[in-house]
Amino acid sequence: MSGENRGMLRSSPESGAARSGVIRARTSLLAHGEPMVWLTGGALAVCLAMIVGLFVLVVYNGFGTFWPLPLVEITTTGGEVFLGEITRYDEYKPTHENLQTSSDEVRSAVEREGGWARRRLMRTGNFELTGTHFHWISSYSIQSETRPDWAMTLERMTWGRFYGTPAAFKIDDATQATEPAEIWSLYNKHHPAIQKRRAQIEHLEKYEIGEVNNQLERARLAMRSAELNYGKNSSAYARASAAYHEKETWSQAEFERFQKDIQDLRAQNERYVMLMKTSTGQQSPIKLDDIVRAYPANQLTSAGRMSVYVSRWIEFLTAEPREANSEGGVYPAIFGTVVMTLIMAIFVAPFGVLAALYLREYAKAGPMVSGVRIAVNNLAGVPSIVYGVFGLGFFCYMVGGGIDQVFFEARLPNPTYGKGGVLWSSLTLALLTLPVVIVATEEALSAVPNSLREGSYACGASKWQTIQRIILPRALPGIMTGMILAMARGAGEVAPLMLVGAVKLAPELPIDGSFPYLHPERSFMHLGFHIYDLGFQSQNSEAAKPMVFTTTLLLVAIIFTLNVVAVWLRMQLRKRFIGGRF
């Protein structure tokens, strides 16, 4: 074909159209990738929306739990008077019986709304007087609604919150004031000193008397050990028995001294009483010693509300729980969660890395190694409660029972290690997260180029020297990734912990100032278990709901903090060992 004809063919529009038509006919739309881009991008958007939505829900409800609300006094058409905080609103369909006592206007309004009515949940407190914490009040049953100037919220050590107006302030049964402003002034004057005395009482009961009990228990165990080892007729048992009786006499004197100090402090605190008037007109005496926090809810400025809000957060993070965990703080749960997670990481890291090193660097490929890898991958899908049952049977009963028989025979039949504790919980979760660390470590080791291994061998390095100086440093960022995933999963697990150590309330921390300072055999509180207890086992479920969100937010924050530290370490290792790439 001549060059002229070839040029005509190239420039011919019919020829180009025909050729493009052939291409369109032979090429699928999927081959261009546009549908897959939209599909994968849409899936990513849906996942992000779900994650962000959940996070926003937890953050919104978690941060709003401790904000002080105004107090509202509502009088119903039936003549009932309620005083409390409006916690939430709801719409429902009232039954015919609900509307029988209502006026024609109310029934007509409900009918115009399609049979729907609005109601509000009111936290009325005063449980010792009313037997309930909350009331549903329908909007159509409200006759009047006010906000009393001197309505006060009292947060107490027992019985939950109390709502009322101050009627009198008494010292030694003598009335000091009857005006609300004067009563509030006297409360602010005397309550700080009362709090200090209450803190002294708690210190004496928890630490001073606790230390006396510990010394007496050690003397008893020494006497019991001498009896088991040498018999009751031995001189060792006689010396131990004499020491125990001497310690018993001393402890009795110490108990009496501490009890006298406690009684004196309580007697001083019981002198101060504030008489509160409820919405029904009933007057109830409230001891200042029982009040944790009080404030006139309807007189608070923005700064005052922020002060109450911050005070509640400080209490939540530093104090122990009270009122069946629905109020107070979660410091023991924070401490237990962090300690358990760190101990788990200490146990799971070396075993997971060593197992992955053997599978990747030493073991020869074959059916046995393939079977082990399959088993490791399958272990990652085993339900966590199975690990809890295994931990209870193996760690608690077998290993812990054996330790008690050998080292703590004097304490039997009361178990020391033969029960749930922070050590067995950490080991159980270490087994749970071990497959994650093994898989991540193997992937990190396989990512190290073989040329580095061959270069190391060519320089005369041994197998272990190559692993230690070449492979492991470059695989450390990947190993840290596995640790991050393991810590995130282990810190949020609840089901195994219910069997091997987590409890509803553990006043004694695993670490304290008494010898031997570290007590891995003790039970502990965990934020995950605390959330379960609040959500499903709380007597005051409505009051516990906001605490569920706040505790969830705190657990997420702790896991996020631990992960941030691990990510920072991974970045430092990456900069150090994988700085140059080609």
pLDDT single digits (tens) 221-253: 999 999 998 998 999 999 999 999 999 999 999
- Judge contact between 154 and 286, C-beta under 8 A: yes
Q: State whether residue 117 is helix, strand or coil.
A: strand
**How far apart, in whole angstroms, are the C-alpha atoms of residue 434 and residue 342?**
14
Q: Quote the pTM value.
A: 0.85
Q: Which long-range contacts (CB under 8 A, 24 or more apart) does 528-531 make?
A: 528/337, 528/491, 528/492, 528/493, 528/494, 528/497, 528/502, 528/555, 529/333, 529/494, 529/497, 529/498, 529/502, 529/503, 529/504, 530/321, 530/325, 530/330, 530/333, 531/494, 531/555
Tell me how far apart the terminal alpha carbons of the chain are, to the nearest angstrom.
Answer: 50
Q: At 406, list the tokens.
A: 């050998």
pLDDT of residue 37: 81
**How far apart, in whole angstroms, are the C-alpha atoms of residue 256 and residue 415?**
30
Residues of the chain with pLDDT below 50 are 1-23, 580-582
Which phi-psi region, left, alpha or beta, contains residue 114 (left: φ > 0; alpha: ψ -120 to 50)? left
**How far apart, in whole angstroms, are the C-alpha atoms of residue 349 and residue 486?**
9
Sign of CA pseudo-dihedral 523, 527, 533, 536: negative
pLDDT of residue 285: 94
* Residue among 163, 145, 421, 132 nearest 279 (CA): 163
How many residues are recorded in the chain?
582
- b/e for 556-580, b at 16 or more Cβ within 10 A? bebbeebbeebeeebeebeeeeeee
Give the type of residue at 527.
L
What residues contact 44, with CB distance under 8 A and at least 6 apart? none
Q: At 315, list the tokens.
A: 């209490």
